[in-house]
Chains A and B, each alone.
Chain A
Amino acid sequence: MGEEGKARMIDIYIMGKKYQVPETLTILKAIEYSGYQFIRGCGCRGGICGACGTVYRTAGDYKLKSGLACQTVVEPEMYLAQIPFYPANKATYDIEKLEPTAEALIERYPELLRCMGCNACSKVCPQDLEVMEYMSAAMKGELERVAELSFECLMCGLCASRCPGENVQYNIGILARRLYARHMRPKAPDLTARVEEIKNGRYDEELAHLIQAKDEELTRRYKETQADREPD
């Protein structure tokens, strides 16, 4: 059912080697079409896992471009290489004991202060995140802002690959988000109460009854709860 019947064939270069592929394919599928079976560099195939960071140039253009292989459509004369793994500095910490402050981030990642504001990270981000902005917010201890700006991060590592300050932005992002969610937002009152009830065995008896109940009773009670559906 594919489009191959009518799609134009174009030349691409996979790590320097030339292949002809249908122009409608993503980089990921073009690499497979060329005969490769991925071990690294392929994950969800849907733009959410960050496994398939790819850098490329097109003929006659000095610019180094980047994208996720599963989301980027091939172009004629594309020269590409995948970056399926990039070494990253990852601090270890006990999230319970950390304070949600700039110091907590800087102590664990002192290189944060080496950010020189070049914005290479934002330019390379396949999610179009304002990476430099959240690095700047991190330095100031504005954790809520880091959390918001970095939330859609896929941790693909492309930012770290381009950073002249040798930062691993996405690890700073996740530390900030965890601190924000753990320490800065109010606890859910209903949740706390319900957990207490469950721990006290509040629903054990009724659930035990339903496990043993006849199908007729279950069906009846199911219909009742469905008829009593909470409005949207």
Chain B
Amino acid sequence: MGYTPELKELAEKVAATREKRIAKRLAPKRIVAYREDKGPFRDIRDLTRVPGIDAEIFEAIKGQVSLTDEPGKTNVNTADAQELEKLDGIGYFKPMTMAERERVLKKFHPDYKDTGMRPLVVGVNRGERVPDEFADLIEAHSLLADAQIELGKPNYDVDVLVIGAGGAGASAALIAQEEGAKVLLVTKLRHGDSNTVMAEGGIQAADKPQDNPVIHFLDVVGGGHFSNDRELVAALTNDAPMVIEWLERLGVMFGKDAEGVMYTLHGGGTSRKRMHSAGDMTGAEIMRVLRDEIRNRPQIEVVEFSPVVELLLDDAGHCGGAVMKNMETGDFKIVRAKSTVIATGGIGRLHIQGFPTTNHYGATADGLILGYRVGVGLRFMDSIQYHPTGAAYPEQNIGLLITEKVRGLGAEPVNRDGEDFVFPKEPRDVESSALMRECLERGKGVLTPTGRHGVWLDSPMIEIIQGPGTIQHELPAKYKQFMRHGIDISKEPMLVYPTLHYQNGGLAIKPDTSTQIPGLFAAGEVAGGIHGRNRLMGNSLLDITVFGRRAGIAAAKFARGAEVGELTLAHVERYERELKEAGVETDRTSPMILPDYRYKTG
């Protein structure tokens, strides 16, 4: 229980520098520049003539600099660039410039490695590089390759089939039902089992006066390194306040003050404080409210423990439903549906490049496989998000999410010598890469008793900056999770290391969530393009609700007046032929449905 004596000793070093680091954080917000060697600056632009301050650094710091011509009045000796650099980003370790971000990403981010990826040999994205673990599932046989299945007598006949009952699926089901559709919601585990429940820190929405959906848009595309599908981003940020209003109306308990003003924080890469939260259980709170609401509506039928194993197309090439499998009896069931929404979530349980994951047990990429087999293209599948702060200790919690809200509330990463080494609110991929650099290149990480790398996340800072009791109030689930293992995170720092968190890419969709297959829609983590190559914190709970709702509207609309023709599995036969022609010889099958941890201890 608790830290080993060796780790306790190292944690002491973090405590020893804590006050100094906080003092720096709370220091005066402006630099008064005076150049000792050559006298006072005449113009703020003179700063760019200081060796080492290029145009980009100047842009980053100029707002914090004012000039003086009296040596005694300066609060920083700006004799050289180093002195200035130390102080810019006042109070924090200096944020990286765009060029620095790129350098650290190229060197340390797993997406940029040469190994662990290969080009696909079949399907729409043939020739494109994806992680090996995912390629293995694409280059695999259908579970129905040899099955004899009667498609003529469906067990369910509905307007809208929603596959997956996490946040996106639940949102889609509720809205489709409101639009008048008869809805069937199917899920392979329990209703609500999803990454949604595990989303802790918050949901972004630009609803404060100093913010707006345009600024939110800029943060999203900048965070995604300008690779995002901008039409999807505009939908995301413009719908955001409406989603918050919808959730509040359903009874989600967002943090707010006595006047009703929403409690909002920064996340990595945000330029305005727009992270709304419900303690550190934001996703769990949203999910349980959506689920409760679905259970209030008998018009929505829910079938659990029944993964979809293939989609069905009709003779006109429209999606006409799906084949699902009852995991407990092994029976196949046929669903005929006028429109279908894939909302099956992500990929974490494939453990890309051997990383532990924050993801739910069911995050096995099923929907990507289903969609790809009927011919929907994939985007950004070579781009995986590693969350900077996964638990690296104790062993029972390895890879579990430590919400970004911990940094949002004031904690920062600290190395084994008790030093801060990175701006704590870089975009996630940059922050993760910086943590890996600290451990792998600089050797300033902490090695755990089981040989894992980690750096400290100095959570006790929160209690000093925000006041005693903040951790128990704002991070109740995290507090409990660590107390179970004898670590009081309001007094001791946590050990963290990047962990596989999110699939940035996914099925190609339009802003209304339609795919290139008529009658087939996709929403949530399974869809790609919204976040480009990197998602910012708080934009996935937003993504699932924005696009879940859009899918509900679009699927219900498509279903009105749609006729389903004769159902076929011809696309599966075609896919099997393509595998054979590409020379894929394997006994692998997909979708994976469940990960297999039998006889393992990891």
Query: Could you give, for residues 137-161 of chain A, a 1 whenever the CB lies within 8 Å of some chain B CB and a 0 otherwise?
Result: 0000000000100011011000000
Note all chain A residues with C-beta closer than 8 A to B258: 186
State the CA gap A95–B217 with chains docked (Å). 33
B24 sits at the interface (CB 8 A): no
Q: A188-B261, A230-B210 are in contact. Are A44 and B292 (CB under 8 A)?
A: no
> A128 and B251: CB pair below 8 A?
no
Give the CA-CA distance A11 to B278 in the complex, in Å.
41
With contact pairs A46-B358, A177-B251, A206-B214 given, residues A198 and B241 touching in the complex (Cβ less than 8 Å): yes
Closest to B234 in A: A207
B293 within 8 A of A: yes
Q: Which stretch in A19-27, A75-83, A114-122 binds the other chain? A: A19-27
Select from chain B the residue with minimum beta-carbon distance to A182.
B251
Point out the residue from B211, B222, B279, B285 that lies within 8 Å of A226, measured CB to CB: B222
A124 CB–B CB distance under 8 Å: no
Judging by beta carbons under 8 Å apart, are A219 and B226 in contact?
A: yes
One of B136-144, B185-193, B337-345 at the interface:
B185-193
The reply on A191 being an interface residue by CB < 8 A is yes
Judge if B262 is at the interface, Cβ distance under 8 Å. Answer: yes
How many residue pairs at the A-B interface have CB separations less than 8 Å? 249
Indicate if the CB atoms of A198 and B238 lie closer than 8 Å: yes
Chain B residues lying within 8 Å of A37, measured Cβ to Cβ, are 594, 596-598
- Distance (Å) between the CB of B256 and the closest chain A CB? 6
Which residues from 175 to 191 on chain A have a C-beta closer than 8 Å to any C-beta of chain B? 175, 177-182, 185-191
The reply to whether A207 and B260 form a contact with Cβ atoms under 8 Å apart is no
Which of B40-48, B120-128, B242-250, B456-464 interfaces with chain A? B242-250
Which one of B192, B208, B450 contacts A190 once the chains associate, using CB atoms below 8 Å? Answer: B208
Partner of B279, one of A151, A194, A204: A151
Whether B259 is near chain A, meaning CB under 8 Å from some CB there, is: yes
* Chain A residues near B292 (CB-CB < 8 A): 174-175, 178
Size bin of chain A's contact surface: 35 or more
Interface residues of A in 81-120 (CB under 8 A from B): 90, 92-96
A35 to B600, CA, bound (A): 9
Which residue of chain B has the shortest Cβ distance to A29 in the bound complex?
A: B601
Contact digits for B277-305, partner A, Cβ 8 Å, 1 yes 0 no? 01101001100110011011110000001
CB of A227 within 8 A of chain B?
A: yes
**Using a CB-CB cutoff of 8 Å, which residues 17-63 of chain A contact chain B?**
22, 24-26, 29, 32-33, 35-40, 42-49, 51
Residue of A nearest to B297 (CB): A92
Determine whether the beta carbon of A24 is less than 8 Å from that of B395: yes
- In the bound assembly, the distance between CA atoms of A129 and B185 in angstroms comes to 32
**B212 contacts which chain A residues (CB < 8 A)?**
194, 203
Asked, given contacts A190-B207, A225-B218, A230-B273, whether A32 binds B251 with beta carbons under 8 Å apart, the answer is: no
Q: B15 within 8 Å of A by Cβ?
A: no
Contact A177 B396 (CB under 8 A): no
Residue from the list A151, A192, A210, A227 in contact with B245, Cβ < 8 A: A192
CA distance A179 to B249 in the complex (A): 10
* A144 CB, min distance to chain B CBs, angstroms: 10
- The 8 Å CB contact of A26, one of B190, B396, B410, is B396
Residues from chain B with a CB closer than 8 A to the CB of A94 are 296
Known: A40-B305, A225-B271. A2 touches B480 (CB 8 A): no
- Residues in B whose Cβ lies below 8 Å from that of A187: 248, 260
Contacts of A232 in B (CB 8 A): 266, 273, 410
Q: Is the Cβ of A189 less than 8 Å from the Cβ of B259?
A: yes
Taking CB atoms, residues of chain B closer than 8 Å to A90 are 295
Contact A229 B271 (CB under 8 A): yes
Question: Nearest-CB distance from A88 to chain B (Å)?
Answer: 10
Does B215 make an interface contact (CB < 8 A)?
A: yes
> By the criterion CB–CB under 8 Å, are A174 and B361 in contact?
no
Q: Is A211 an interface residue (CB 8 A)?
A: yes
Which residues from chain B contact A24 at a C-beta distance below 8 Å?
395-396
Given A2-B395, A203-B238, A207-B213, are A227 and B63 also a contact pair (CB < 8 Å)? Answer: yes
Q: How far is the CA of A32 from the CA of B361 in the complex (A)?
A: 13
Kindly identify, within residues 189 to 232 of chain A, every residue whose CB is under 8 Å from any CB belonging to chain B: 189-192, 194-195, 198-199, 203-204, 206-208, 210-211, 215, 218-219, 221-223, 225-232
B259→A178 contact, CB < 8 A: no
Structural contact, B396 and A42, CB atoms closer than 8 A: no
CB contact between B248 and one of A127, A152, A181, A198 (< 8 Å): that residue: A181
Give Cα distance in the complex from A147 to B190, angstroms.
Answer: 24
A71 at the A/B interface (Cβ < 8 Å)? yes
Q: Which B-chain residue is minimally distant from A24 (CB atoms)?
A: B395
Task: Answer yes or no: B360 CB below 8 A from chain A CBs.
Answer: yes
Please name all residues of chain B whose beta carbon is closer than 8 Å to the beta carbon of A186 when the two chains form the complex: 256, 258-260
Q: In whole angstroms, what is the CA distance A211 to B221 when docked?
A: 10
Known: A46-B401, A92-B296, A222-B222. 10 other contacts (CB 8 A): A39-B327, A48-B281, A127-B480, A128-B480, A174-B288, A178-B251, A210-B218, A219-B226, A227-B59, A229-B272
Interface residues of A (CB under 8 A from B): 1-4, 22, 24-26, 29, 32-33, 35-40, 42-49, 51, 71, 73, 90, 92-96, 127-128, 147, 151-152, 154-155, 174-175, 177-182, 185-192, 194-195, 198-199, 203-204, 206-208, 210-211, 215, 218-219, 221-223, 225-232
B residues with CB within 8 A of A: 29, 59-60, 62-63, 98, 189-190, 192-193, 197-198, 205-215, 217-219, 221-222, 226, 230-231, 234, 237-239, 241-242, 244-245, 248-254, 256, 258-262, 266, 271-273, 278-279, 281, 284-285, 288-289, 292-293, 295-298, 305, 327-328, 358, 360-362, 395-397, 400-401, 410, 449-452, 476-477, 480-481, 484, 594, 596-602
